Amino acid sequence: MAKKPEAAEPARSLEWMKLTAAEIQAEAAADALVIVPVASMEQHGPHLATGVDMVLGGNVALETARRMAAAGQRVIVTPVCWAGLAEHHMAFGGTVTLDHATFQAVLRGVVGSVSRHGFRRVFLMNGHGGNAEAIGTAATDLAVEFGIRVGGATYWHMVPEVIAPLLERQPTLMHACEAETSMMMHLSPGSVRPERIAEAHGPASSRVPGQPPGLLMRRSFREITQSGVVGDARLASAEKGVKLLDAIAARCAELLANPELWQAR
């Protein structure tokens, strides 16, 4: 009687929440990188649901991890930290915001837990522009407090060179824009209201004329854009979303695989 072929072992999950405690400890022992996606719950214009930053940030983190794992890197991804600093969106409704101290405390709790389990490398992958400066502060403070390597960045700030060539009316990812709408059409089409896309356009920047990139001043989006959009979603497409996600994740994976980032000197 012919012997049945052995079933192939299922691929190891890269998602923290799908691993057992023992499997997570094995990743710590193997010096895996932990990617923590950080997002926000907020308005995204008339045409997108409020969970955009969670969907995009979580998927960019996971796709980045998949590419790193395919190249032989050890990496796992926590669930998305879904609440962030979104005071500037509150006037439109549909938004949840934390204050700075609470936001930093949440990140401290997550990274502190990861550190206590033996992980030595953590990357805070931010998917919400309002969190950008606070992510940098957290990465510095938590590295010192826990004695581990902690990096942090907003994903589109990491890889602008792969985003710009894929867009037609804007140079980078903005807010509820050509880029975000395209990726949502690909990843979560049920979160898109196609009949409202004609309204989904706004100014080309959240800065007032004459305000340079280095001058930080958050103002309510109600003062900036009638639609809640910065950028132009009217040229968005699912096909463009596929290309954007692939390009962003591939480049992020290359950057995070750099051993110079994580080695102590």
Query: What's the pLDDT score for residue 3?
Result: 56
Three-state DSSP at 232 gives strand
For residues 60 and 9, give the distance between their C-alpha atoms in angstroms, rounded to a whole number: 26
One digit per residue, the tens of pLDDT, for the chain of length 265 reads 555 555 555 578 999 999 999 999 999 999 999 999 999 999 999 999 999 999 999 999 999 999 999 999 999 999 999 999 999 999 999 999 999 999 999 999 999 999 999 999 999 999 999 999 999 999 999 999 999 999 999 999 999 999 999 999 999 999 999 999 999 999 999 999 999 999 999 999 998 888 888 898 889 999 999 999 999 999 999 999 999 999 999 999 999 999 999 987 6
Three-state DSSP at 224 gives helix
DSSP result, 126-138: E--GGGHHHHHHH
Strands 33-38 and 149-154: unpaired
Query: What's the pLDDT score for residue 40?
Result: 98
Query: What's the pLDDT score for residue 2?
Result: 53
Three-state DSSP at 48 gives strand
Q: Which helix (H) or strand (E) holds 151?
A: strand 149-154
Strand partners, 96: 41
Domains of the chain: 16-21+28-255 (3.40.50.10310)
Query: What's the pLDDT score for residue 209?
Result: 87
Query: What's the pLDDT score for residue 175?
Result: 98
Candidates 181, 179, 124; CA nearest to 155 is: 124
Three-state DSSP at 183 gives helix
For residues 152 and 16, give the distance between their C-alpha atoms in angstroms, rounded to a whole number: 19
Query: What's the pLDDT score for residue 8?
Result: 52
